[in-house]
Amino acid sequence: MSFETIQYEENDGYAVLTLNRPERLNAFTGVMHAEIREALDKVAANKANRAMILTGAGRGFCAGQDLNDRVMGDDDAPPPDLGHTLETLYNPLVRRIRALEMPVISAVNGVAAGAGANLALGGDLVMAARSAKFIQAFCRIGLVPDGGGTWLLPNLAGRAKAMAMAMLGEPVSAEEAERIGLIWKVVEDDALMPEARKLAARLATQPTAGLTAIKQLITAAASHSLDEQLDLERDTQQRLGRSHDYREGVRAFLGKREPVFKGE
């Protein structure tokens, strides 16, 4: 499959989507948005895909919106409609990744800035190379964190850290990001992709419907009461209790053998 601004690969039960404009630290353009949408359609259309890795080519993960792109506006043009850009490009992308019915691994290979940082943080399992850093660069150009940033930051790291990251726009190292709960874990630079691939291949053998439900419930918890969440757990468990993979998991345990999950 050939794209201009991304690379797409399917392999061993998982897909890898690599942002690929390394000379611009993989900053987003309209073309890149369109290609990502097309790739995500492919990920979802193939039932053999049971996990996805999102990463970047070269020394950066993604530097957010390409500031040369017309959507940002310039002196001679009328003011840009950034709301339209979010509504039509970024918000659907964030929602689409959240709704993908499989775990999404962010493998953050280098600097992740602006919407690129929040794209990474929106993944389900976020791994970062030791040299990676996260920058909420928006405040430097008079904007607010988007791509879900104002929701993700306080939910992941708490209000105090969220405020400091969003208002100061200073780089947060991968180690610091792990320490404050912004990401899952740091790995050595050259271990990032081997580890991400190993994890994706392992996830591809797991009960995918159950993992998808975990993703949905943990997302829902951020805006639910305990009572609402208990009801959601009841309904979800009821559904999963009728699934192939639940039956298989219990039978394998009782039979003292490895389970063979279908993902449904």
In the complex, which residues of this chain contact ligand LHQ (CB under 6 A)?
Answer: 24-25, 27, 63-68, 71, 82, 85-86, 111, 113-115, 135, 137-138, 141, 143, 146
Least distance to ligand LHQ from the beta carbon of 249, Å? 42
Least distance to ligand LHQ from the beta carbon of 58, Å? 10
Q: Which is nearer to ligand LHQ, 132 or 157 (CB)?
A: 132
Q: Which is nearer to ligand LHQ, 65 or 208 (CB)?
A: 65
Least distance to ligand LHQ from the beta carbon of 244, Å? 42
Which residue(s) pair with 264 in the sheet? none
Residue nearest to ligand LHQ (CB): 64
Q: Which is nearer to ligand LHQ, 173 or 205 (CB)?
A: 173
3-state helix/strand/coil string of the chain: CCCCCEEEEEECCEEEEEECCHHHCCCECHHHHHHHHHHHHHHHHCCCCCCEEEEECCCEEECCECCCCHHHCCCCCCCCCHHHHHHHHHHHHHHHHHHCCCCEEEEECCEEECHHHHHHHCCCEEEEECCCEEECHHHHHCCCCCCCHHHHHHHHHCHHHHHHHHHHCCCEEHHHHHHCCCCCEEECHHHHHHHHHHHHHHHCCCCHHHHHHHHHHHHHHCCCCHHHHHHHHHHHHHHHCCCHHHHHHHHHHHCCCCCCCCCC
Least distance to ligand LHQ from the beta carbon of 16, Å? 23
Q: Which is nearer to ligand LHQ, 70 or 239 (CB)?
A: 70
Q: Which is nearer to ligand LHQ, 35 or 66 (CB)?
A: 66
Least distance to ligand LHQ from the beta carbon of 136, Å? 9
Give the side-chain half-sphere CA count within 13 A for 187. Answer: 18
Q: Which is nearer to ligand LHQ, 48 or 67 (CB)?
A: 67
The answer to whether 117 and 110 are in contact (CB under 8 A) is no
Least distance to ligand LHQ from the beta carbon of 189, Å? 15
Least distance to ligand LHQ from the beta carbon of 12, Å? 32
Q: Which is nearer to ligand LHQ, 115 or 199 (CB)?
A: 115
Q: How is the beta sheet containing 111-113 ordered, strand by strand? A: 60-62, 111-113, 133-135, 172-173
